[in-house]
Chain A
Amino acid sequence: MKKLEANSNEIYVLNPTAIPVKGLSRSILCDIERHVYTLIPNALYELLRENRTGIISEVIYRYSNKDELITKTIEEYFDFLIQGDYIFFTNSPDLFQPLEFEWDYPAKITNAIIDVNDFTDVNFEEILSQLESLGCYAIQIRLYCQMAASEMAKKIFEPTKKSKIQAIEIVLPFASFCELDSWSKLTDLYTRIKYLQFYNAPKYEILQEFGYNGMGLIYLIKDNIENEKCCGVVHSQYFTLNISSYTEAQHHNTCLNRKISIDTHGNIKNCPSMKESYGNIRDTTLREALGKPGFKKYWNINKDQIEVCKDCEFRYICTDCRAYIEDPENIHSKPLKCGYNPFTCEWEEWSTNPLKQKAIEHYGLEELVKKEEKAM
């Protein structure tokens, strides 16, 4: 293990893939190479911002003014950075460059959501072929009704066997489950199934892990996803930390960018939970809907523009929601279903927050909130 004393006169460089992000009361250090983050004090954030590279003994000398307490604190910071492999020592510090945050992907649409209930009349073959022509590679199909594995094979997967779509996620009620065997067979046969998630289950359980290709997960969750109003929850369990999502978050909305959706009525939207519809799949193609003015209006709203989020240390690794926001009149207001307060650094229950009751009423979420309270 490396020791601080041994390196204190060498030149250090902060890993270009270790990125400090400052919040109101604390900061995080995102290791986008190893997909983890760690909480750091804002003082360390400032120290790193001003000293991406340097010599530890000189940095200590400059900041501490020989004050023992400050010296000790900065030494602890560097100990932490060395042990966590966040800095390295080199004689060629000029060689190493900060990471550029450009983001782009060769597709008009990268991801899609298709919502289905008992009354939905949908031709998956047609929709998937339209999505494919837009370059879409990931699709989530959310079923608010039951469907057996055999029916799913026939309706969704068989007609799209040769499609270029890489990953399909299926969300469906536990009532469809029956036995694991038939679903395992489905994931074996159709290797583009990313996961099968059964909601409203008696307990959380992973029944089949991801395969070697990163596909084919089968698992149960307790939450009940009975309709599109259940979406939009912001929580640390949905954090994503990789280079592609991190760089996209610098420029775009972390939920809605290059997304297209079809709700249970066939309405084409940016997201099924939103009001704005850009035509119905019965008479409008996805490409036509995408070309209509306003479709992309949320795509470039990144977290730096959203109130509260812009002061949050998690802003580049967190998801967003523009369908349910605290102030429905303000397009840049905080996601309604986020309970995090970057000032106190605490997660609170969003649904009981008195300041959010008006918005909850506005979106007609009272029913949902009551049920969740009962479940708790």
Chain B
Amino acid sequence: MLLILSQENDVSTVHILQWLIHWGVPFFRINEEDNISVDTLSIGPNNCREIILMKNGKHRLVLNELKACWYRRGAVHLRIKNQFPIEIEKPLSERVFTHMKAEARACEDYINFIIESLPRINTYNRRDVNKLIILDIASRIGLKIPKTLVTTKKEIYLSTFGNNQKTITKSIHTGFDYMRVNDEGKEERYSTYTEVLDFLNLPNSFFPSKFQEKIEKEADIRVFYLFGDFYTMAIMSQDNPQTSTDFRKYDNIKPNRRFPAKLPFEVEQKLDSLMRAIELESGSIDLILTKDGEFIFLEVNPVGQFNMVSVPCNYNLEKIFAHKLKTFLS
């Protein structure tokens, strides 16, 4: 049995499950939205343990029977109700509820610990990567990275980049996304993108912000990585002013060309070292190809959708990925 941890509406999960169903590979899917409860959790002498979970009160999962796990997204959530058999007054009830959540959390941690010991693709504990740490490791490994600065002061910015260097600013952690319904009842969306910085408008001091030198690129490179294998796509976004800084600002009339590509061996080797160092079996890697033919590493996303690389390049990554999961069971 294969365990798949995901979310209800995740498209990539659906595409991979189609293959597993097609091949008759047995799996058990837990979505973040599911109500998981502990049926049995016993640890005994002689390396003996039994862990049984219930999904939504009806599906029984014996963790000992699992052969492998794919951590896609989400988390195993034990649901705790803020209810007590007797009436408890306010501050105490809140303390008790906090305590109950911590108790459940300890069980969740143990469950994740057991799952992590299985043959696996990615884990809950490495779902969220710190971009600064990864940039640091990448630089140590010898990958080229853009000069990066986090500061609160314009003078530091200027002493780092001067006033001729073009720079961009982007979030330190992840982008900001906000949706609201306006007065006319229409949905409005605000998202942060990578933007070219106009340093003249910088105040003298500001909230800690990240700046990177703007690299004149020939193409954006998006890599899907799986156990040392690389599936690479080039996005020819540079010729289009709308996408030249951030290709996610899609041009729907004349979409950017997307082509299959093959990274030089040394770049793949270094990226492989990086992925091993941060213990990710799979993930999406972003790079820039410069006009001089150099590859600049930008970031890793452990949980990206792989459809966007798979379809235009005809890689059928879903099949390759599902096949990897299948081999775990044989």
Contact = CB atoms under 8 A, between A and B. Distances in A.
B316 A15 contact: no
Interface stretch (B74-82, B188-196, B253-261, B268-276): B253-261
B105 interface: no
A15 B314 contact: no
A33 B312 CA distance: 7
Contact of B319 (A95, A100, A106): A106
A16 B259 contact: yes
B218 interface: yes
Contact of B22 (A33, A100, A106): A106
Interface stretch (B52-60, B156-164, B288-296): B288-296
Nearest to A108: B22
A349 interface: no
Nearest to B14: A164
A91 B218 contact: yes
B289 A16 contact: no
A101 B314 CA distance: 7
Given A90-B218, A102-B314, A135-B18, A16 B293 contact: no
Given A33-B257, A97-B261, A99-B314, A92 B293 contact: yes
B312 A17 contact: yes
B262 interface: yes
A95 B234 contact: yes
Contacts of A108: 22
Given A92-B293, A107-B22, A247-B314, A99 B260 contact: yes
Contacts, number: 72
A85 interface: yes
A135 B20 CA distance: 12
Contacts of B311: 243
Contacts of B264: 94-95
A327 to B, nearest CB: 35
Contact of B262 (A85, A91, A95): A95
A91 B291 contact: yes
Contacts of A91: 218, 291-293
Interface in B42-60: none
Nearest to B319: A104
Interface string A240-258: 0001000100000000000
Contacts of B21: 106, 135
B263 interface: yes
A96 interface: yes
Contacts of A15: 257, 259
Which bracket fits the contact residues of A? 20 to 34
A190 interface: no
Chain A interface mostly: loop
Contact of A95 (B23, B258, B263, B314): B263
Contact of B18 (A90, A92, A98, A106): A106
A174 interface: no
Contact of B314 (A85, A90, A100, A107): A100
A37 interface: no
Interface in B273-312: 289, 291-293, 311-312
Interface string A46-90: 000000000000000000000000000000000000000100101
B314 A135 contact: no
B313 A99 contact: yes
Contacts of B22: 106-108, 135
A249 to B, nearest CB: 13
Nearest to B263: A95
B316 A104 contact: yes
B236 interface: yes
A92 B289 contact: yes
A271 to B, nearest CB: 23
B289 A95 contact: yes
Interface in A129-155: 135
Q: Which of B260, B261, B314 has the most CB of A within 10 A?
A: B314
Given A106-B18, A107-B22, A88 B261 contact: no
Nearest to B259: A16
Contacts of A34: 255
Interface in B167-206: none
B204 to A, nearest CB: 41
Contacts of A16: 259-260
Contact of B261 (A96, A243, A247): A96
B19 interface: yes
Nearest to A92: B293
Contacts of A102: 314, 316
Interface in A14-29: 15-17
Contacts of B255: 33-34
Interface string B3-30: 0000000000000001101110000000
A17 B261 CA distance: 12
A113 B50 CA distance: 50
A360 B291 CA distance: 61
12 contacts: A16-B260, A17-B258, A34-B255, A99-B259, A101-B314, A102-B316, A104-B316, A106-B22, A106-B23, A135-B22, A243-B312, A243-B314
Interface of A: 15-17, 33-34, 85, 88, 90-92, 94-102, 104, 106-108, 135, 243, 247
Given A100-B315, A102-B316, A108-B22, 9 more contacts: A16-B259, A17-B259, A33-B258, A97-B262, A99-B260, A104-B316, A135-B18, A243-B311, A247-B314
